[in-house]
Amino acid sequence: MLLEGFLPTRITYVSVFNACAIRAATFAGQCVHACIVDTEMENDIDIVNSMINMYGKFGNIENALSAFQNLSNIDVVTWSTMIAAYAEVGQCGNALQAFEEMQQRGITPNAVTIINILHAFQSEEDIDELKGIHDYMLGHGLNEDVMISTALINAYGKCGNIVAAQTVFHTIVKRDMCCWTAIISSHVRVGQYKEALMLFDQMKKSGIIPDTIAIANILAAFSDIDDSSSDCERMHNFMMLQGIDLDDVLGSAMLTMYGRSGKLVLSEALFEILPKNEVTTWNAMMSVYIQHGLFKKALDLFYQMSIKDLQPDKDSFVSSLTACANETSLADGEKVHHLLSNAGIFLNDVIGASLVNMYGKCGCPGIAKTVLDQMPRYSLILWNAVIGFHAQYGEGMKAIQAIQDMCNQGCRPDIISLVSVLNACSHTGLIDEALLFVSSMEDTFSLSPLADHYICVMDMLGRSGRPGEVEVLIIQMPFQPKSVLYMSLLGACQSLANVDLGKRAAKCMAELSSEDSGPYVSLSNIFALQIPEKSIRQSSLSILL
């Protein structure tokens, strides 16, 4: 067009920016942006709105914010688009701040604004703010809009509050495909797979034919159900009766289902017959390989994408970096990082955490810290990467400081955060700090200690010659101890040749699992340190019986 001497119009620029956003064409989008710098087009509200949307899709929040701030006349559409950009990169706090600021400037949010702000809520730590938006909806009569209610169901599902999601769903009088899909996916997200299947059947009985997204969610549910063969067959028959072909969405969901069910051969066979025109199919197969520990195969797929002129997306790079980390292949990791930079994909929290994990495992703590310095703010996933990094390098006090900083910045730790801190304490020998940490988890973080937390501390106590405290810890647990905890105690007794404590641990373990030979073997090993060989078997049996 330019070569022919025609000048682009406002509609041209809007269309091109929207196309770049859809195709993730970062370089092309920036080139087109350069064409309007220092021209009157740069302050055209429709063009700027499309630019903000494009940069938001790219994950380049800095350029989106720059375009937003350069606009002199900001309307509700611009505010809504900026909020959507924040939501796209997971910056819930900034999205909420923009939502408040637009109202302070006298601009009333519309339905699109509410839907965009609801998309910003991604985790349990956002639940209080989400309830605040819900209250705003009720106060302004927006709760009767089906599209807004659907977005609210999705938001509650992502935040793990399935009860609230169900409540919203039941208030919808005329339920369409989207709200049914939202409630089904919410149940799948929190692991309530049987309930998701029941809802799927109810949706069909109500006369609504499921679309590919609903079917993909059900296939995801099948992936985590122990005995789902009959359900899979039923779904396959349903798809055939409806004439539904395996497109990229359904094909990806199905090969993921087979992969999670341990049927790697079926996943590979399905991947071979799928069109493979979209990056989602490749990403699904890479994830399956990573789940099965086949990291080299996952990397090979990533490189094949480039040969086939497919542009990897954020998920592709996260999977490939995970593979590099597990292979501890610095050469591949640096190559993937280079490709990431050239692709124009900007660092979000997930990619940043993947880079930190990869460089940390590949023995490059300096580069990992450089990546961290580039991140504008830390979310839960990035904080967990930081704590895990300190744990890997035996920096126990830094891990403890990190979780304190995390809390000070308003980010609530999860189970992964706390396990990482305990691992860091274990590597550094900070036993008393670990004990204090576990005992204060509920009061400080509103999280109940799990068996994994106790096992970590018990392992530390055992290795430091304090098995008596292990026994006290088991007695004080707020739940019924499992056999694995007593095995940890038996291991400590064996290393210290503590027969009396070993007897009690073995007897408790035998009561929990009478068919398990573990306590007999462990106790025999303990006796072997103090009792003549001919008496070992008789002594062990007499205690366990």
Which tens digit of pLDDT belongs to each residue from 252-262? 888 888 888 78
pTM of this structure: 0.72
Q: 418, 388 in Cβ contact below 8 A?
A: no
Band (pLDDT 50/70/90 cuts) for residue 352 is: very high
Band (pLDDT 50/70/90 cuts) for residue 543 is: very low
> What's phi and psi for 397, nearest 5 deg?
-65, -35
Is the residue at 253 inside a domain? yes
CB atoms within 10 A of CB 116: 26
Contacts of 347 (CB under 8 A, 6+ apart): 59, 355, 371, 374, 375
Q: 441, 453 in Cβ contact below 8 A?
A: yes
Structure tokens at 532: 């003549």
Contacts of 89 (CB under 8 A, 6+ apart): 56, 59, 61, 348, 349
Domain count, the chain: 2
Instruction: Tell me which residue range forms the domain holding 246.
Output: 176-272
Last residue of a domain, one of 272, 293, 319: 272
Is the residue at 338 inside a domain? no
In the chain, the amino acid numbered 403 is I
Last residue of a domain, one of 272, 306, 333: 272
Query: What b/e sequence results for 243-256 when a residue is b if at least 16 CB atoms lie within 10 Å of its CB, and e otherwise?
Result: eeebbbbbbbbbbb
Q: State the residue for tokens 């008496």.
A: 535
Is the residue at 499 inside a domain? yes
Is the residue at 229 inside a domain? yes
Is the residue at 209 inside a domain? yes
Which tens digit of pLDDT belongs to each residue from 33-78? 998 988 888 889 999 999 999 999 988 999 999 999 999 889 999 9
DSSP string, 66-96: HHHHH-SS--HHHHHHHHHHHHHTT-HHHHH
Which tens digit of pLDDT belongs to each residue from 302-319? 999 988 888 899 999 999
**Any alpha helices (H) in 328-395, and if so which ranges?**
330-342, 349-361, 365-374, 380-392
Query: What b/e sequence results for 316-351 when a residue is b if at least 16 CB atoms lie within 10 Å of its CB, and e otherwise?
Result: bbbbbbbbbbbbebbebbbbbbebbeebbbbbbbbb
What is the rounded CA–CA span in Å between residue 314 and residue 43?
31
Exposed, middle or buried, 309 (CB in 10 Å: 0-12/13-18/19+)?
exposed
Q: 302, 316 in Cβ contact below 8 A?
A: yes
Exposed, middle or buried, 56 (CB in 10 Å: 0-12/13-18/19+)?
buried
Q: State the residue for tokens 């018990």.
A: 458
What is the rounded CA–CA span in Å between residue 267 and residue 111?
41
Contacts of 77 (CB under 8 A, 6+ apart): 45, 49, 112
pLDDT of residue 85: 96
**Of 342, 306, 303, 298, residue with least CA distance to 324:** 298
Question: Which letter does DSSP use for residue 40 in this model?
Answer: G
pLDDT of residue 534: 44
Q: Is the pLDDT of residue 111 over 80?
A: yes
Which tens digit of pLDDT belongs to each residue from 114-155? 999 999 998 888 899 999 999 999 999 998 899 999 999 999
Q: State the residue for tokens 């309930």.
A: 195
Q: 115, 402 in Cβ contact below 8 A?
A: no
In the chain, the amino acid numbered 295 is F
Look at 238 and 26; give whichever has higher pLDDT.
26
Band (pLDDT 50/70/90 cuts) for residue 514 is: low
Last residue of a domain, one of 272, 302, 333: 272
Q: State the residue for tokens 């019924």.
A: 480
Cα–Cα distances in angstroms (integers) from residue 9 to residues 12, 41, 81, 152, 249, in the given order = 5, 9, 22, 38, 36
Exposed, middle or buried, 11 (CB in 10 Å: 0-12/13-18/19+)?
exposed
Q: Is the pLDDT of residue 520 over 60?
A: no
Taking residues 258-276, report their average pLDDT: 87
Q: Is the pLDDT of residue 464 over 80?
A: no
Average pLDDT, the chain: 84
Q: Tell me how long the chain is.
A: 545
Is the residue at 199 inside a domain? yes
**Of 183, 248, 238, 249, residue with least CA distance to 216:** 249
Is the residue at 279 inside a domain? no
In the chain, the amino acid numbered 118 is L
